[in-house]
Amino acid sequence: MLTSDAQQAAGQIREWIDSSTCAVAFTGAGISTESGIPDFRSPGGVWSKYRTVYFDEFCESADARHEYWRQKAEAHQEFADASPNVTHRTLADWEASGNLHGVITQNIDGLHQQAGSKRVQELHGTAREVSCLDCGWRDVVDGWVNQFLETDQVPECPECTGRLKHATVSFGQSLPPDVLDTAMQWARQSDLFLALGSSLVVEPAASLPRIAASSGARLVIINRDETPLDGIATLTVRAALGDVFEALNDE
Ligand code: ZN
The pLDDT confidence band at residue 100, using thresholds 50, 70 and 90, is: very high
The pLDDT confidence band at residue 193, using thresholds 50, 70 and 90, is: very high
The pLDDT confidence band at residue 4, using thresholds 50, 70 and 90, is: confident
Q: Is the per-residue pLDDT at 46 higher than 60? A: no
CA 27/CA 43 separation, integer angstroms: 20
Task: Give the Å distance between the CA of 204 and the centre of ligand 1.
Answer: 29
CB 9 within 8 A of CB 235: yes
The number of angstroms, rounded, from the C-alpha of 72 to the middle of its chain's C-alpha atoms is: 17
Question: Cα separations (Å) of 29 from 16, 55, 109, 158, 192?
Answer: 24, 22, 10, 33, 21
CB 191 within 8 A of CB 217: yes
Q: What local confidence, expressed as pLDDT, does residue 1 receive?
A: 76
Q: Is the per-residue pLDDT at 15 higher than 60? A: yes
- Give the pLDDT confidence of 62-75 residue by residue, as tens digits: 999 999 999 999 88
Amino acid at 105: T
Question: Cα separations (Å) of 164 from 50, 71, 106, 139, 173?
Answer: 20, 15, 22, 10, 15
| Residues assigned a catalytic role | 124
Task: Give the Å distance between the CA of 74 and the centre of ligand 1.
Answer: 24
Amino acid at 217: A
Domains of the chain as residue ranges with CATH: 1-36+84-124+174-251 (3.40.50.1220), 38-81+127-168 (3.30.1600.10)
CB 164 within 8 A of CB 140: no
Q: What local confidence, expressed as pLDDT, does residue 76 receive?
A: 86
**% helix / strand / coil in the chain, to the nearest 5?**
45, 20, 40
CA 50/CA 188 separation, integer angstroms: 38
CA 160/CA 138 separation, integer angstroms: 12
Task: Give the Å distance between the CA of 131 and the centre of ligand 1.
Answer: 8
Q: What local confidence, expressed as pLDDT, does residue 28 receive?
A: 95
CA 107/CA 25 separation, integer angstroms: 13
Q: Is the per-residue pLDDT at 251 higher than 70? A: no
Q: What percent of the chain has pLDDT over 90?
A: 80
Mean pLDDT calculated for residue range 170-176: 89
Q: What local confidence, expressed as pLDDT, does residue 50 receive?
A: 75
Mean pLDDT calculated for residue range 96-124: 97
Q: What local confidence, expressed as pLDDT, does residue 40 receive?
A: 62
The 8-class DSSP code of residue 168 comes to E
- Give the pLDDT confidence of 214-241 residue by residue, as tens digits: 999 999 999 999 999 999 999 999 999 9
3-class DSSP state of 218 = strand
Where is mean pLDDT largest: 108-117, 168-177, 204-213?
Answer: 108-117
> Ion ligand 1 — residues with CB under 5 Å?
132, 134-135, 137, 157, 159-160, 162
CB 52 within 8 A of CB 207: no
Task: Give the Å distance between the CA of 129 and the centre of ligand 1.
Answer: 14
| Burial of 77 (C-beta count, 10 Å sphere; 0-12/13-18/19+) | exposed
